[in-house]
Amino acid sequence: MLRNLFVFAVATFIAWVAPGQSAFSQPAERPPIRVLIVDGQNNHQWQQTTPLIEQTLIGSGLFEVSVATSPPRGEDMSGFQPRFADFDVVVSNYNGDAWAEPTRRALEKFVGSGGGLVAVHAADNSFPDWHEYNRMIGLGGWGGRDERAGPYVRWNDDLQRFTRDTRPGSGGTHGSRTPFVVVVRDSDHPITRGLPKAWMQTVDELYGKLRGPAENMHVLATAYSEPETGGTGEHEPILMSIHYGQGRAFHTTLGHDVAAMNGLAFQITLQRGTEWAATGDVTLPPVGPEILTMDVPATRDPAELIAAEDANDAAKDADDADSEEPAASSAAIDFDAIPIVDKDHWKALFNGQDLSGWTQKNGTATYRVEDGVIVGKTATGSPNSFLCTDEDFGDFELAFEVDCDRELNSGVQIRSRSIPEFNKGRVHGPQVEIEAAPGESGYLYSEGTGRGWLSPAHPIKDAYINGSWNRYLVRAVGPRIQTWINGQLIEDLEDEESFRTGFIGLQVHGIGKNEGPYQVRWRNIRIRPL
Ligand code: ZN
């Protein structure tokens, strides 16, 4: 089962057009553009950055996003065969082992026959020996690339045009991370049309000395790589569009890490570039200099876009409560597949605004709403506290994101109860563990019952990423409970004794007298009753 997951771990989020966006040029009913992100290996933190790419794309209202995660480095890649043809555009957050030949041929065929490809940052380090891939991305770096890979391409400010330099030399370099100015060199391409002529990207890695075939490639924007910060002293290509056969590729060297992907410069160009690669056009609205700023770099947590859409959706659900679609039949559940979060069958448990639908039980920790996030904070001397749904859920799939202070223990109760007859209302039932890595995150504990761990063993200690948002998925059907963190299957067990129905509860663990205060944050809490 674990192996299957590695072969094709998919988490799909269906985007819809928010009311505020339908005023722009795209028709409200246009079907979403289908995006497949590929990741699984990278010398960068792909586990942290793939969610940001996902959120950035979904937040535009144009895309539905799936993720294909490869096996880890050094393992057999032959089973990694994502079905590119089921999508409109493939976004690569991958820099690792060579793919098997059928997978390489499938991508060539996909793009060559009209599909889209987007290469994000270190994706252009990947596959130095795969010529067709290098033709798709235009330029690449590292991996032994040199003059045989193709020319360096730079903007020459004196000549006011791009030059190609075929001199011998290695490909790929960068200075220390710094904010920098991105300058548009062609304002008449769909990706850059309606954007300011120049703007600042937040602290990021500025790639230089990239070289490659550079066929049918158009450099849309450059940035000056400052020698003072270890740069090349050249105007290096930052955004590129490439035509490959009938298809298109968008290549952005922005996006080294979470901080860089919080830059609006990264997000807005990724949204536009991905739409262009998928369709050949950009319908996203123009963005002015008040948003893509020049004097200070503009940043935004892309998850805010999703939180806003959740609030929209909660309001919409309230409006048409009668026309709710029937829940999917549990007969159709594929236990080998990771739950797919889409718009149709999932509902937001948290409206992003306040705690309506939730009631605190047991301890005196505080829960508040801040920027679309539920923040739980410890209270000295309090027993475990729980913020519980008023509604009970039986069989379901549950999705949420959580970021917990390292010192604090937390968890999410499922199918849990609080009744006066049992221990004066003590919350009890299965809990999905949340704690800093290395730890037992994702495993199941029987809270308040004295049974202790339901999970017999805890082999995976590091799926949880400390100091970051972590995506949890839970599937509970009959006695079977499965959990995932950041796309990785953690637990899959059957427990006959646990309750089959009950509330969802967000735990803030009690703390010792001289500790804290500590906080735990939850957002994007959604459920799909089965
Ligand atoms: Zn980097």
User: How many angstroms separate the CA atoms of 365 and 470, rounded?
Assistant: 22
The predicted structure's pLDDT at residue 333: 84
Nearest CA to 211 out of 161, 164, 159, 254 is that of: 164
User: How many angstroms is it from 133 CA to the middle of ligand 1?
Assistant: 19
User: How many angstroms is it from 316 CA to the middle of ligand 1?
Assistant: 40
User: How many angstroms is it from 319 CA to the middle of ligand 1?
Assistant: 45
The predicted structure's pLDDT at residue 78: 94
User: How many angstroms is it from 139 CA to the middle of ligand 1?
Assistant: 15
Placement of tokens 């730079």 in the chain: 154
Q: For 21-43, how does the pLDDT look when each residue is reduced to its tens digit (9 = 90+)?
A: 333 444 446 799 999 999 999 99
Q: Which residue has the higher pLDDT, 342 or 187?
A: 187
User: How many angstroms is it from 431 CA to the middle of ligand 1?
Assistant: 37
User: How many angstroms is it from 505 CA to the middle of ligand 1?
Assistant: 39
User: How many angstroms is it from 419 CA to the middle of ligand 1?
Assistant: 53
Q: For 517-527, how does the pLDDT look when each residue is reduced to its tens digit (9 = 90+)?
A: 999 999 999 99
Q: Rounded to two decimals, what is the model's pTM?
A: 0.60
User: How many angstroms is it from 45 CA to the middle of ligand 1?
Assistant: 9
User: How many angstroms separate the CA atoms of 13 and 487, rounded?
Assistant: 13
What confidence category does residue 296 fall into, taking pLDDT thresholds of 50, 70 and 90?
confident
User: How many angstroms is it from 96 CA to the middle of ligand 1?
Assistant: 14
Q: Which residue has the higher pLDDT, 264 or 487?
A: 264
CB-based contact 464:436 (threshold 8 Å): yes
User: How many angstroms separate the CA atoms of 62 and 261, rounded?
Assistant: 19
User: How many angstroms is it from 207 CA to the middle of ligand 1?
Assistant: 8
The predicted structure's pLDDT at residue 317: 56
Looking at the predicted structure, is the pLDDT value of residue 346 above 60? yes
Q: For 102-156, how does the pLDDT look when each residue is reduced to its tens digit (9 = 90+)?
A: 999 999 999 999 999 999 999 999 999 999 999 999 999 999 999 999 999 999 9
The predicted structure's pLDDT at residue 339: 83
User: How many angstroms is it from 225 CA to the middle of ligand 1?
Assistant: 15
User: How many angstroms separate the CA atoms of 365 and 520, rounded?
Assistant: 11
User: How many angstroms is it from 145 CA to the middle of ligand 1?
Assistant: 17
- Which amino acid, one-letter code, is at 110? F
User: How many angstroms is it from 243 CA to the middle of ligand 1?
Assistant: 25
The predicted structure's pLDDT at residue 14: 36
The predicted structure's pLDDT at residue 24: 41
Token duo for residue 66:
């799936």
Looking at the predicted structure, is the pLDDT value of residue 504 above 60? yes
The predicted structure's pLDDT at residue 304: 77
Query: Mean of the pLDDT values across residues 405-432?
Result: 92
The predicted structure's pLDDT at residue 307: 65
Bridge-based pairing of strands 89-92 and 116-120 is parallel
Q: Which residues surround ligand 1, an ion (CB under 5 A)?
A: 205, 256
Count of alpha carbons within 13 Å of 481, Cβ hemisphere only? 26
Nearest CA to 242 out of 221, 217, 210, 222 is that of: 217
Q: How many CB atoms lie within 10 A of CB 5?
A: 17
User: How many angstroms is it from 375 CA to the middle of ligand 1?
Assistant: 32
The predicted structure's pLDDT at residue 311: 64
User: How long, in residues, is the chain?
Assistant: 530
The predicted structure's pLDDT at residue 54: 94
User: How many angstroms is it from 27 CA to the middle of ligand 1?
Assistant: 37
The predicted structure's pLDDT at residue 18: 34
Nearest CA to 393 out of 366, 412, 365, 371 is that of: 412
The per-residue pLDDT of the chain, averaged, comes to 89
User: How many angstroms separate the CA atoms of 173 and 171, rounded?
Assistant: 7
The predicted structure's pLDDT at residue 450: 82
User: How many angstroms separate the CA atoms of 396 and 415, rounded?
Assistant: 10
Nearest CA to 259 out of 49, 469, 94, 43 is that of: 49
User: How many angstroms is it from 352 CA to the middle of ligand 1?
Assistant: 33
User: How many angstroms is it from 256 CA to the middle of ligand 1?
Assistant: 4
What are φ and ψ of residue 528, in 5° steps? -125, 100
User: How many angstroms is it from 384 CA to the middle of ligand 1?
Assistant: 41
Placement of tokens 């890595």 in the chain: 437
User: How many angstroms is it from 361 CA to the middle of ligand 1?
Assistant: 45
User: How many angstroms is it from 213 CA to the middle of ligand 1?
Assistant: 22
User: How many angstroms is it from 126 CA to the middle of ligand 1?
Assistant: 12
Looking at the predicted structure, is the pLDDT value of residue 171 above 60? yes
What percent of the chain shows pLDDT beyond 70? 89
What confidence category does residue 325 fall into, taking pLDDT thresholds of 50, 70 and 90?
very low
Query: Mean of the pLDDT values across residues 482-505?
Result: 92
Please state which of the ranges 148-152, 198-202, 312-316, 341-345 shows the lowest mean pLDDT: 312-316
What confidence category does residue 484 fall into, taking pLDDT thresholds of 50, 70 and 90?
very high
The predicted structure's pLDDT at residue 19: 33
Q: For 189-231, how does the pLDDT look when each residue is reduced to its tens digit (9 = 90+)?
A: 999 999 999 999 999 999 999 999 999 999 999 999 999 999 9
Token duo for residue 327:
């829940």
The predicted structure's pLDDT at residue 2: 33
Looking at the predicted structure, is the pLDDT value of residue 321 above 60? no
User: How many angstroms separate the CA atoms of 50 and 93, rounded?
Assistant: 7
| Domains along the chain with CATH numbers | 2-16+29-308 (3.40.50.880), 336-529 (2.60.120.560)
The predicted structure's pLDDT at residue 312: 63
The predicted structure's pLDDT at residue 215: 97
User: How many angstroms is it from 206 CA to the middle of ligand 1?
Assistant: 8
